[in-house]
Structures are given as structure tokens and as C-alpha cells.
A and B are shown apart, each in its own frame.
Chain A
């Protein structure tokens, strides 16, 4: 083989195993999921499913599970708002105010993820417990009725979602705030901008790539999550993930589970590409 031909082939050889793996275990399964979502819903796993292009599965599942669907995006949206409120000051403080403590504080942001996700979520059960100190305190100051609860409420689920995915939002936000040229802020204040104006007109727009990336990294896992709803909530707080889990693993209703899964994926992809287009950034590629 000539040197030139080898050079031309090399990238394809390097790509072959990884690409094959992704096609085989990401692409093909998605096609199979799409197919399963169109199976005849009257079939069952034991008798086998007939492919009938049952597009009706989609309106059926939306109708049957509208509360869980809207709750998924509602809770994830609320948690996102909360996470932005908590995460922006944190990222800003680390990037611009922490000085030599910067790396230590960054480790503190990531450190919780060193422990198992499920074990940490269970710890919230202890923190929010009816006989715990937090509930006792809130009852004493009458922020909570004497028989009021935190655990097994929508509040607990949103709190858990915010907690679990907050680092994913903070890290990209930190990265873009860190890169921000502080001379631009000095220029703004030289030109008589108040700190608030400087923030609104300089810092916020320049941190947009970080905001977009962080929002996506937060929202994608949060809207598909069902661990928080299961462990910190009740069936009244169930999200779409809980329904998909039970459709595939308990009720063994594959067409329904597949249709819901595919619907979730479609909504998420629409959000992702909408965000990326609005942000006008191709950096992710």
C-alpha cells in the first residue's frame, strides 16, 4: 500500500470500531424502539407483537399519561429555574471572586458526585424526614402546618432534581464566566454603567454559551429522571420515567413504553436543537 493511500485510510480505520459500536448499540436500538412504538398494542411479550404501524399508540399514551408527561417537564423546568438561581451566583463567585480558593471550591462542586447518586438521594429522605430537624424547625416557625410534610411532596422531588443535577449546570457556566475578560466590565463602569447594568449588558450575554450548555446538561437528565420521584415522592409525583420503567419492566407493555420513550426523546431533541440554534453556537460539535 502506498503511503498516501494509507494516510487516506487511516482516519476510517481509527473511527471504525467506535462508530460501529455506536451504530450497533445506539442507532440500531433506537430504530428498534421506534419500531416497537408502532407495534399492535393488543399483543404481548409472550405471544409476540405484530407490526401494524399503529400510529395511534402516540395519541393514546399522551392521553393516558398526560399528568406524568406534563409533570416531567414541569418539575424539570422548576428545578432548572431553581438551579439557575443557585448555580449562577455560585459559578460567578468561583470564577471571579474566589482568588486562590478557586480550585478548592471547584472540587467542592464536583465532590458530591464522588458518592453514589442513589445513596445521596436516599440521604435526602433522612434530611426531609417527618421526625427530622428540618421539618421540626419549619413546624416551629409555622412555615409548615403541625402535620405538614416535606418528604413525599412535589417540593421534595424538585429539591432532589435540583440537587442531583446542579453541578452539571455550574461547571459549563463557570467555564464561560472564567474566560470573560474583566476589562470589558471595567470599560462598562468607565462608561457609567451601574453594576446591575454591566451585569445585564456585558456579563450575562457573554456567559450565554455556558448558560445554554449548562441548561441542556441539567434539563436532559432531569426530565428523564425517575429516581427522585420514586424515592422522594409518591405515585402522585410520578414523572414519565416512572411510567416508562413500569411499562418495560413491570407491565411488559412494550408498545406503550416505546411510544413514551420516543416521545420524550423527540421533545428533548427539539429543545436541544432549538437551544443550540438560538445560541448560535456550534462549539458542541
Chain B
């Protein structure tokens, strides 16, 4: 009786935790596999325990080169997309002008378009225009799909901002530039940082668009895709686990840093 009562009160939380378990399971398996020595190259099962993969994460130098390339592409795409998207967000939130709804649709459409369509259409264009595909075509493509996400993220932050703070600055004889530098920018910055982090992770992890625009250039996801057919080196799981830990630490640090302001 008491158990059923307890279950009736908590069933929703129990279901929620089970679903979270389903979401967490593959990450745990990746972490476990990073300590695995598979019995054969094509095996996905557990063999014996080893720390060799962590000692020599770059045993397959091809993989680490791909990883480095992904970081470079992610960095370049993030910088360009964040600048372009932030400028657009300012225009859209702070100004009323003709063609505003058209721009909104243009920003929304890439997010509503499946990645295969984005990738194939760029490939069709590059081939028709005779542009060789490689590092720079990947950057161009990544900037394109990141811009929309930057616009949406920065727009949300700008829209929630108290305009009176800027009015106060102006009343205190700050000119437009000073107001922007000392009041507006610091207030919007968290939104811009969030947008940049989102862009980087979208770019770094992108496979489908990259697959169509890369030519013979290999990024980390492209490497994993190719290796899935030839046999995955266990070090892939080391990279996967390390990425997870780094991202988690970043989130932890940023949430600690935010707390005192509340």
C-alpha cells in the first residue's frame, strides 16, 4: 500500500529519470569503450581493459589531423557567423525598416531546411561554378547554417534587455558610441558568447553538410564516418569522452560564474 502510494507520487520523476538514462547510456558506453582494446578492428564489442588509448590518443595521426582541422574550421566559421549574425540581430530588434519580415523569413528558412538539402544545393552550386571543394567551401557552408542560430540567440537576448539603461546612459551625457561600448555591449555579451559556443559546436559536430562540401578534406566527423566502414580505432572514443568532459567543465564554470550576480 505504502509502495503504491509512493509510486503514485513519484511515477513522473521515475519516468523522467529513465528517459535521462536512455539519453546518457551512449555517452557512458563511449567512455567505457575509450578504455577498451577491441578483439578485432571491426569489432564494436568489449575486449579487454586498457589505458593505452588514453596514453596515445594520436596513435592514428590521420584522426588527430582531422580533429585539428575541425577545430580550425569551427573557429573560423564561429568568428564570421557570430559577427554577421550579431549585426543582423541588432538591425532586426532595434530598427523598423522595409523588408524586415522578408529578412526574418530568410533567417528562418535555413533552420527549417534539412541538412541534406543545404549540403546538396551547395554542392550543385560549387560544381556548376567550377569551385573546387575543400577547407574553404566547408567554412563557407558552416557560416551559412550558423548565422541563423546566432541571429535567433542574440535577438532573444536583445529583446529581453531593458532599454531604460541605455536611456539613462544617454541622459548622463554618454554619446552613442560610449553608450554602446559601456552599456549595450556588456549587457548583450552573454547572448553573443552563447551564440558563439552554439556555432562552434554546430560546426565542429557537423557531418551531413560537410560531407557534401568537403571534397577530399577530412574533418573529425568525416573521419569517423569513413572509419566506421574500415574499423574504428578505439581512440575515437577517447576524443569523444574528452570532448564531453571539456564541454561539461565549460558549462560548470559558466554557471558558477553566473551565480553571484543573482
Interface residue ranges, A against B (CB under 8 Å)? 8, 10-12, 14-15, 17-19, 21-23, 25-30, 32-33, 35-36, 45, 86-87, 89-90, 92-94, 97-98, 103, 105, 107-109, 111-127, 129, 131-132, 163, 166-167, 216, 220-221, 223-227, 231, 240-241, 244-245, 248-249, 254, 257-258, 261-262, 264-265, 268-269, 272, 284-285
Contacts and interface: CB of A to CB of B under 8 A. Distances in A.
B33 A126 contact: yes
Given A90-B16, A112-B27, A21 B144 contact: yes
Contact of B114 (A8, A17, A35, A223): A223
Contact of A264 (B85, B116, B127, B248): B116
A213 to B, nearest CB: 11
Interface string B3-15: 0000000001101
B52 interface: no
Contact of A112 (B26, B97, B104, B147): B26
Given A114-B248, A272-B112, A122 B84 contact: no
Closest 10 CB pairs of A and B: A224-B114, A93-B16, A114-B247, A29-B121, A11-B95, A123-B26, A14-B91, A33-B121, A119-B240, A18-B84
A269 B84 CA distance: 25
Interface string B143-180: 11001100100000000000000000000000000000
Interface centre among A17, A116, A120, A245 (most CB of B within 10 A): A116
B82 to A, nearest CB: 11
A244 B116 contact: yes
15 contacts: A21-B143, A35-B124, A86-B22, A93-B16, A94-B16, A98-B13, A111-B24, A112-B24, A115-B30, A122-B232, A131-B45, A163-B23, A221-B114, A261-B120, A265-B114
Contacts of A224: 114-117, 208
Nearest to B105: A285
B contacts with A: majority SS? helix
B196 interface: no
B20 A18 contact: no
B45 A126 contact: yes
A22 B24 contact: no
Contact of B106 (A22, A109, A163, A264): A22
A28 B101 CA distance: 20
Given A14-B90, A227-B207, A221 B251 contact: no
A90 B15 contact: yes
Contact of B123 (A10, A115, A221, A248): A248
Given A29-B118, A122-B44, A226-B208, 19 more contacts: A10-B95, A12-B91, A14-B87, A18-B87, A21-B84, A33-B120, A33-B124, A89-B12, A90-B20, A93-B13, A97-B13, A108-B20, A115-B30, A116-B220, A123-B26, A166-B19, A254-B127, A265-B113, A285-B104
A21 B112 contact: no
Contacts, number: 250
Interface of B: 12-13, 15-16, 19-20, 22-27, 29-30, 33, 44-46, 83-85, 87-88, 90-92, 94-95, 97, 101, 103-110, 112-118, 120-125, 127-128, 140-141, 143-144, 147-148, 151, 201, 205, 207-208, 211-212, 220-221, 224-225, 228, 232, 236-237, 239-241, 243-244, 247-248, 251, 255
Contact of A116 (B101, B120, B205): B205
B106 A117 contact: no
B184 to A, nearest CB: 13
A94 B16 CA distance: 8
